[in-house]
């Protein structure tokens, strides 16, 4: 009986001229990919990788038509394994969801059990998508800095791309934990927003970038969460304190890194690469438990815009034009 159900989903299609269109379409559960767990998706969220998949980036999604959505939170409908049962509340993020496996912009997904995280106590399904992949990536980045030994008394933490999902949540969590955060944003209207999240200081892209060619700069940062790459990441590394650390988790500005080895061999700076997509499950659960517990921010609603499927196309366009701020969660069912 389950196999006969149909559901609503965003479907991205490629026409004969290589153009991509997005529409709300009816899909069949029978057409979902193989997997042990069938989930009714209650909420999803919009991420940069969803923008790429929704606009035809073949480096993210190879074949169309396709349903994006790298985040999903919902209820287990069926499970062929023993770990999950019908009615369990679960989170699915990362792995191949929304890339080449139909994702959370549809009302149902079917995925391997190894991708599924039980919803931790302290979070609702909706709250979990206020974090989503962005919050998980921010949490994983912060965990790396903490495990490196950087504490609130060690100096300023720089967060680049601070108005985006990962950046804004990094600012919020770090400030909650007592760190002094300097936020970088290219938006001139961002200061009030970022200070409301807990940023002690807001600087522009120009101040965060150095084009002097000097191999090292005066130390300013104990650590950093970098979401943009490129010149800002290079400048951050050159201006990180002795034995500091930088967690790199994005390339919104550039995938290139114009840097020499001096920050690493003269100051002992560590550059951590953050791979949230294939993060091992024990670390994944650890971060989610902290997001539901001691890291949970009390102003998450101030970061969130909630939309329905019918509004998602406009939100994708807004992100494409770099007018997006904070987190956008997607409601899959209208009660």
Phi, psi of 148 (to 5 degrees): -70, -20
Res. 1: pLDDT tops 70: no
Q: What local confidence, expressed as pLDDT, does residue 227 receive?
A: 96
Region 184-189: mean pLDDT is: 86
- List of domains in the chain: 2-119+300-331 (3.90.180.10), 133-273 (3.40.50.720)
Region 278-298: mean pLDDT is: 94
Region 202-211: mean pLDDT is: 94
What is the C-alpha separation between 175 and 244, in angstroms, rounded? 18
Region 313-331: mean pLDDT is: 88
Q: What local confidence, expressed as pLDDT, does residue 90 receive?
A: 98
Convert the pLDDT of each residue in 158-179 to its tens digit: 999 999 889 999 999 999 999 9
What is the C-alpha separation between 255 and 246, in angstroms, rounded? 16
The β-bridge relationship of strands 108-111 and 37-45 is: antiparallel
Band the pLDDT of 335: cuts 50, 70, 90: low
Region 230-257: mean pLDDT is: 95
Contact predicate 181/229, CB 8 Å:
no
Q: What local confidence, expressed as pLDDT, does residue 92 receive?
A: 98
How many residues comprise the chain?
335
Convert the pLDDT of each residue in 26-56 to its tens digit: 999 999 999 999 999 999 999 989 999 999 9
Q: What local confidence, expressed as pLDDT, does residue 133 receive?
A: 95
- CB-based burial of residue 68 (10 Å sphere; 0-12 exposed, 13-18 middle, 19+ buried)? buried
Q: What local confidence, expressed as pLDDT, does residue 323 receive?
A: 80
What is the C-alpha separation between 108 and 117, in angstroms, rounded? 16
Beta-bridge mates of residue 152: none
Extract the tokens encoding 237.
Answer: 């590394």
Beta-bridge mates of residue 188: none
Res. 188: pLDDT tops 90: no
Region 126-146: mean pLDDT is: 96
């Amino acid at each position: 009986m389950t196999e006969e159900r149909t559901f609503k989903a965003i479907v991205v299609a490629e026409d004969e001229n290589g153009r991509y269109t997005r529409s709300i379409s009816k899909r069949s559960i029978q057409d979902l990919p193989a997997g042990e767990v069938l989930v009714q998706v209650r909420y999803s969220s919009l991420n940069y990788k969803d923008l790429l998949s929704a606009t035809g980036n073949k480096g993210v999604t190879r074949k169309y038509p396709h349903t994006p959505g790298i985040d999903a939170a919902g209820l287990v409908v069926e499970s062929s394994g023993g770990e999950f049962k019908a009615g369990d509340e679960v989170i699915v993020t990362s792995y191949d969801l929304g890339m080449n496996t139909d994702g959370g912009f549809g009302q149902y997904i079917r995925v391997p059990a190894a991708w599924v995280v039980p919803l931790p106590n302290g979070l609702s399904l909706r709250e979990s998508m206020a974090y989503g992949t962005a919050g998980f990536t921010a949490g994983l980045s912060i965990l790396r800095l903490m495990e490196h030994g950087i504490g609130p008394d060690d100096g300023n933490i720089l967060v680049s791309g601070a108005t985006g999902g990962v950046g804004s949540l990094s600012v919020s969590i770090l400030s909650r934990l007592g760190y002094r955060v300097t936020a970088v944003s290219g938006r001139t209207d961002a200061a009030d927003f970022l200070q409301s999240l807990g940023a002690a200081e807001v600087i522009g892209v120009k101040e965060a970038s150095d084009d002097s060619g000097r191999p090292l700069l005066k130390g300013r940062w104990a650590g950093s969460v970098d979401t943009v790459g490129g010149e800002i990441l290079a400048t951050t590394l050159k201006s990180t304190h002795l034995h500091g650390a930088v967690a790199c988790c994005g390339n919104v500005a550039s995938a290139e890194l114009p840097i020499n080895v001096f920050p690493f061999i003269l100051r002992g700076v560590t550059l951590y690469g953050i791979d949230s997509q294939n993060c091992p499950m024990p670390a994944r659960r650890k971060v989610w438990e902290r997001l539901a517990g001691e890291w949970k921010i009390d102003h998450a609603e101030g970061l969130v815009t909630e939309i329905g499927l019918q509004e998602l196309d406009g939100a994708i366009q807004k992100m494409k034009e770099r007018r997006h701020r904070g987190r956008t969660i997607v409601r899959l069912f209208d009660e």
